Amino acid sequence: MAITIYHFPPSAPSRCAVLVAKALGLDVDIKVVNLFDKEQLKPDFVKINPQHVVPTLTDGDFTIWESRAIATYLANLYEKGDKLYPKDPKARALVDQRLQFCAGTLYPRIRAICFPVLFLGEIEVEESKKSSLEEAIGFLDIFLDENDFVTGNTLTIADISIAASLSSIIAVGWDVTAYANVAKWFAKCTLEIPGYMEINDAGAQQFGKAVKSKLAPGQI
């Protein structure tokens, strides 16, 4: 049976899963679940995923969600070679750490800014949230010191995850040029991640437009 990814293009984690599938050369059936229209709450989707989140992947009779779990699953099972997700324990641990940085630090700080704007009616961003995100981007800048990518000089699934997350807030208007390593890395990712413009940029721009339409002027 074909692999299916339930996907919402404005969602950074969702774009990550699709980008990893693309990088692995997989033929994936994409089914869009529009979160803005609350399609994730429809009974047929809740039956597949009781947490009703995207991305969700089905591979035959196997179902999994959470983008980094999907990324590692796909790479473990389908990668020819091990550049995207190295098999060496130390190299893999570093990729896993960067994935956890995205899941536990960078993306939550982006979400803390954007979710209240999109769904809770807030039109201003607290300075503490801005400072928190700046700190996370600063950590990323350190990771990239003397490296082309976040774990060294080879593109991995960690780069894909972090680039998808960061692209969302950049599309809102966040300026990362003060972080020279991050700016250089992000430009490289747009060129080297397979399908970046088609899969990621379009969705990030859609996300950015939605947030900006609800923000008060000058907030970001």
Q: Active-site residues: which are they?
A: 11
The alpha helices in 27-126, defined as continuous H runs, are 43-48, 67-78, 89-101, 107-119
d(CA 210, CA 148): 32
Sheet of 56-59, strands arranged across = 28-32, 3-7, 56-59, 62-65
Distant-in-sequence, close-in-space partners of 87: CB < 8 Å, separation ≥ 6: none
Name the CA dihedral angle for 67, 75, 92, 185, rounded to a multiple of 10 degrees: -70
**Residue type for position 103:** A
Chain centroid, CA 155 distance in Å:
15
Residue 63, helix vs strand vs coil: strand
d(CA 25, CA 102): 24
Residue 4, helix vs strand vs coil: strand
